[in-house]
Amino acid sequence: MSGPSGPTGAVPIISNPTSSAATLNVPNVGPYLVQLHVDDGISSDAVLQTVTVSEPQINANFNPATGSVTVTSPSAGRGNIALTSTSSYQNVAGTPVSCRWQVLSGPAGALLDGSTLLDVTKPCGTGAVLNVPTASAGGQYNVQLTASAIGSNVIAHLLTVSNSAPTANLNNTSAAQTVTYSATGPTINVTTNTAIDGSGTSGNFAFASAAANVSLDGSASTTPTGTLTYSWCVLAAQQPDATNFPASIPICPTKTAPSASATTTMTVGATGSYGVQLTVDNGFTSATASRTVSVSPGGGVTFPTIVNVLNSAPCSGCHQYGSVVNGVLQGVFNPASQIGTQPSWTNASTQEGDTLYMRVRQRVILGSSNSLLLRCPHLGCGGMGGNQAGFVNTTDTNYTNFLTWISNGAPPGN
């Protein structure tokens, strides 16, 4: 017997060479010359026959195919491309025995099954993993597969690493939200005095500021790979009265801690426009989106409407006293609960730092028509007689506006 040897030098072997039914084990494809010799002890004979060994053609192929590839399993700025052999025999069941994976070219920093050699041979039933840095986005890796049994076949795919950046989206956050405020915010302290000129008994009046919840939704954000986390902040230039009534989420660039939830609640202490910024991160990289959220009180009456009334009749007389120097109201005013000494409705902060909103709110019982702000001009109190203009009837415009504003939490507005 003679014939081609195998790739590793193996030679053909006949098992059971003295049996009438023997098996020829060949290490390669090609022609093998086999001799059969028979002998009955008296005479003998021999015959030669060429046995040509062939193998079904191997169709080498693998996934992903040539084109754009999105990496998966983000970690520390890297991601994976799973390589899976789909090689087969032509018109015959079964698959090749071994697959040799090689990265012929591509951006630096790649690993093949954890190795920098970028050349690994393994059973075809077990895929390989090409791990690449995310900085290679847009780069191309030329990956070659050699599928082998007795013979072999080769194929190469040019894989382009896609951009793995996420997209932040705030389309599911309502740009206009109407909310009702309640006395659940931080405590506000107002300096008080029983005399207009500050010569009386001074004190302090404390009340809970108004607060409401605004819904933020980043669920329209997308990512080609990985899992998103969500962080929130408010743009510094887009927050009404951030000094006295800051929102519950921080001012950018400081952000809330990353969360798996796409939704959150922002507690606000004022009406007006808030510039909300969302940051999403998929483990590879991050993206941001901003949206202006206009917060309005139920009933639509904002504090500027109340200021307009306070600065007009019937409030432009005895409530407009004291001098304003450089925008600061001089003197200690602001009696709190006592009746008889009117607070100043001048639209300026006192030298103690009390704003007009603070001085007004000390006269308000949220949600109640018993608020002194309504009761005094309507029914009279102390030195003020009732039936003041706009407060004669409970249906008068001023009365209705004040009660609506009080009933909806009396937000300061902007």
Q: Quick: pLDDT tens for 136-186.
A: 889 999 999 999 987 789 999 999 999 889 999 999 999 999 998 988 888
User: 321 and 277: one domain?
Assistant: no
Contact 373, 319 (CB under 8 A): no
Q: Which helix (H) or strand (E) holds 357?
A: helix 356-361
Domain encompassing residue 44: 13-53
Mean pLDDT of 82-106: 90
**Cβ-Cβ contacts under 8 Å for 130 (sequence gap 6 or more):** 80, 81, 83, 103, 110, 111, 112, 141, 143, 159
| 380 and 339 within one domain | yes
Average pLDDT, integer, range 203-220: 91
Q: Say if 168 falls within a structural domain.
A: no
Asked if 121 and 212 sit in the same domain, the reply is: no
Q: At what angle do helices 397-407 and 372-379 cross, to 10 degrees?
A: 160
Tell which residue, 405, 373, 377, has the closest CA to residue 390. Answer: 377
Q: Do 309 and 395 belong together in one domain?
A: yes
The answer to whether residues 338 and 352 touch, using CB atoms and an 8 Å cutoff, is no
pLDDT for 279 beyond 90:
yes
* High-pLDDT (> 90) share of the chain, %: 46
Residue 327 has pLDDT above 90, yes or no: no
pLDDT reported for residue 195: 62
| 171 in a structural domain | no
Average pLDDT over residues 231-237: 94
Is 84's pLDDT higher than 50? yes
For residue 307, report the phi and psi dihedrals to the nearest 5 degrees. Answer: -60, -40
**Pair (339, 226) in one structural domain:** no
pLDDT in tens, 184-201: 888 888 877 666 556 667
Binned at pLDDT 50, 70 and 90, residue 325 comes out as low
What mean pLDDT comes out for the span 121-125? Answer: 94
φ, ψ for residue 330 (rounded to 5)? Answer: -85, 150
Domain co-membership, 119 together with 182:
no
Give, for 67, the enclosing helix (H) or strand (E). strand 67-69
What's the rounded mean pLDDT across residues 53-75? 90
The number of folded domains in the chain is: 4
Rounded CA gap, 73 and 69, in Å? 13
Task: Report if residue 349 sits inside a domain.
Answer: yes
Residue 4 counted as domain residue: no
Confidence bin at 10 (pLDDT 50/70/90)? confident
Tell which of 105, 134, 161 closes a domain.
Answer: 161
pLDDT band at 335 (very low <50, low <70, confident <90, very high): very low
- Is residue 8 a part of any domain in this protein? no
- pLDDT-derived band at 213 (thresholds 50, 70, 90) equals very high
Higher pLDDT pick, 16 / 103:
103
Do 133 and 232 have their domain in common?
Answer: no
CA angle 51, 53, 54 (to 5 degrees): 150
Average pLDDT over the chain, rounded to whole?
87
Residues 191, 286 within the same domain:
yes
Do 78 and 103 fall within a single domain? yes
Per-residue pLDDT, 336 = 40
Helix (H) or strand (E) holding 305: helix 303-310
